[in-house]
Structure 1
Amino acid sequence: MFGKISGLLALAMAAAAVLPAKAAEKPVSIVLVHGAFVDASGWRAVYDRLTRDGYEVLVVQNPTITLKDDAAVTRRAIAKAKHPVVLVGHSYGGAVITEAGDDPKVRSLVYVAAFAPDVGESVATLAEKPVPGEPQAPLLPPADGFLIVDPTKFAAAFAADVDAGTTAFMANAQNPWGIGAVGGAVTTAAWKSKPSHYLVATEDLMVPPTAQRRMAKRIGATIKELKASHAVMMSQPDEVVAFIESADATPR
């Protein structure tokens, strides 16, 4: 019996030896803000890697009904952070971090295939400017004050480089996007006073890459491009993590 226990302990120790060691805690917190039609679980692979690298990571779960409420939820997450914050937004989450990122604890902004409105603009304002030669997001007409992506077109438009089983689930588990969030105009543009970084997804069929580049240039962001779908944080988490960590390393 003791021999069997010793053998099990040896196996457990050997398994632990091959697991990557968690890095020492960094003096920076990272707050992740999801976009429309999905929830915070899309950040899981990024969360795991950032946590392993020693960052405190807070993941915002926004209701995406109104921009005002989503900004308030994000501000509460910022307030909980132990350290200065790198604030990251994907898609519609870019509008949220633009509004909430004026908090003095926020030291830089990271936009991931995201909308970056100016004061008085909304996602609707930016999205209604079509880009010639690039498709618009396949949204169904509003129903009861909410939008969703056509489920039959979700995989190709949102996450073409994510496995089919995952995208099928995402298409049928969409978090409807409130018209109050789509049309919510920002009252402050944090990128005007914070260092900003923009990750362009060049195969994005939800937010046209040309529009992403235009917004990134307008906000004076440090720009990186990846050949990826709109769900770049799911399909290429290592690259997204490296980009977020580069924002942490930006001199201030």
Structure 2
Amino acid sequence: MLDGMPQARGVTSDVGAALVHGLWHGAWCWDEVRAALAERGVDSVAVELPLTDLPADARATREALDAFDRPAVLVGHSYGGAVITEAGEHPLVRELLYIAAFQLDDGESVSRTRPGRDLPETRLAEAMRVVGSEVHLDPEWGSRLVYNDASAEVASAAMARVRPVDRLLFRRVPESIAWRSRPSTYVVCTEDEVVHPELQRAMAGRASRTVEWPCGHSPLATRPDVVADLIADRVRAAAPS
């Protein structure tokens, strides 16, 4: 168990969890977390983002919440944080949970966050390959950075499924800022080599509460039980008393 992690077993509630993935990935990256949530009595849905434009991704998330048709904790990993920031004003959302994610403010984008702040950068740009309007993730560098603390088997399986994304995603700003009207929790991944931990801490200052995990960028793959425990805890907190 990681520091600051609650243990939550046997959660049953009308509240569920809606899960939003990051760049280059898909709903599949939540599979192990969803299995762990089911063991804890938490119903979930994983959103499949088109990864063409932030408004389109937010729309896909709102449509998934409509189909889920129950109150939910809305969880975003990495770029998924930008998506839940825009989509999180949906009436079924009870709380936002950011995992090494972009908790953006007005006028910010994934490529321009906390302008004017002298925050360190990672080497993610070195892993990106631009081909026309698409941005691809270099297999070798992507594995080193995105899955820096994963086993070779886990990293290889994930990298075999990544896909290109549209360049627009890096520039678009959210049309609404849901964390102003919803409680939020931010998870800082202190060994992250994709979103620098200091940038994460700067964004986490906007959240209602913060926890820190000593892990890399992809705890969904490396620590699914830990992720599920936190989501189940927030689902329990959001349930009617």
TM over 0.5: yes
Aligned to 1:79: 66
> Could you tell me how far apart the structure 2 residues matched to 1:56 and 1:168 are?
29
Alignment of 1:98-117 (within 5 A): 98-117=85-104
Name the SS of the counterpart of 2:44 in structure 1: strand
Aligned to 2:203: 215
> Could you tell me how far apart the structure 1 residues matched to 2:50 and 2:167 are?
12
Alignment of 1:210-249 (within 5 A): 210-217=198-205, 219-249=206-236
Instruction: Encode CA deviations 1:109-167: one digit per residue, 9 max, x unaligned.
Output: 000110111122211212887733x5231332421212123222122200122221231
User: Bigger radius of gyration, 1 or 2?
Assistant: 1
Name the SS of the counterpart of 1:62 in structure 2: coil
Pairwise CA RMSD = 2.1
8 A Cα contact 2:57 2:83, kept in partner = yes
Aligned to 1:4: none
Deviation at 1:65, TM superposition (A): 1.0
Aligned to 2:170: 182
Aligned to 2:5: none
Instruction: Encode CA deviations 1:173-192: one digit per residue, 9 max, x unaligned.
Output: 32112112221110100000
Q: Which amino acid aligns with 2:225?
A: D
Aligned to 2:156: 168
8 A Cα contact 2:127 2:142, kept in partner = no
Aligned to 1:61: 48
> Could you tell me how far apart the structure 1 residues matched to 2:167 and 2:118 are?
19
Aligned to 2:142: 154
Percent of aligned pairs with the same amino acid: 34
Task: Establish whether residue 90 from structure 1 lines up as the match of residue 77 from structure 2.
Answer: yes
Q: Which amino acid aligns with 2:67?
A: K
Q: Which amino acid aligns with 1:80?
A: A
Q: Which amino acid aligns with 1:83?
A: R
> Could you tell me how far apart the structure 1 residues matched to 2:31 and 2:11 are?
21
Q: Which has the higher contact order (CA 8 A, sep 6+)?
A: 2
Q: Which amino acid aligns with 2:141?
A: K
Bigger drift between 230-239 and 119-128 goes to 119-128
Q: Which amino acid aligns with 1:185?
A: V
Aligned to 1:205: 193
Select the residue among 21, 30, 34 that pairs with 2:17: 30
> Could you tell me how far apart the structure 1 residues matched to 2:194 and 2:236 are?
30
Name the SS of the counterpart of 1:123 in structure 2: coil
Deviation at 1:24, TM superposition (A): 7.2
Name the SS of the counterpart of 1:148 in structure 2: strand
Change (3 A) 1:40 1:232: same
Q: Which amino acid aligns with 1:186?
A: P
TM, length-normalised to structure 2: 0.88
Aligned pairs, number: 229
The gaps in structure 2 that reach 5 residues or longer are 1-8
> Could you tell me how far apart the structure 1 residues matched to 2:32 and 2:46 are?
12
Aligned to 1:11: none
> Could you tell me how far apart the structure 1 residues matched to 2:32 and 2:183 are?
25
Deviation at 1:85, TM superposition (A): 1.0
Change (3 A) 1:23 1:250: closer
Instruction: Encode CA deviations 1:26-78: one digit per residue, 9 max, x unaligned.
Output: 21121000000111111111100111222221110112111111111100111
> Could you tell me how far apart the structure 1 residues matched to 2:191 and 2:203 are?
17
Name the SS of the counterpart of 2:188 in structure 1: strand
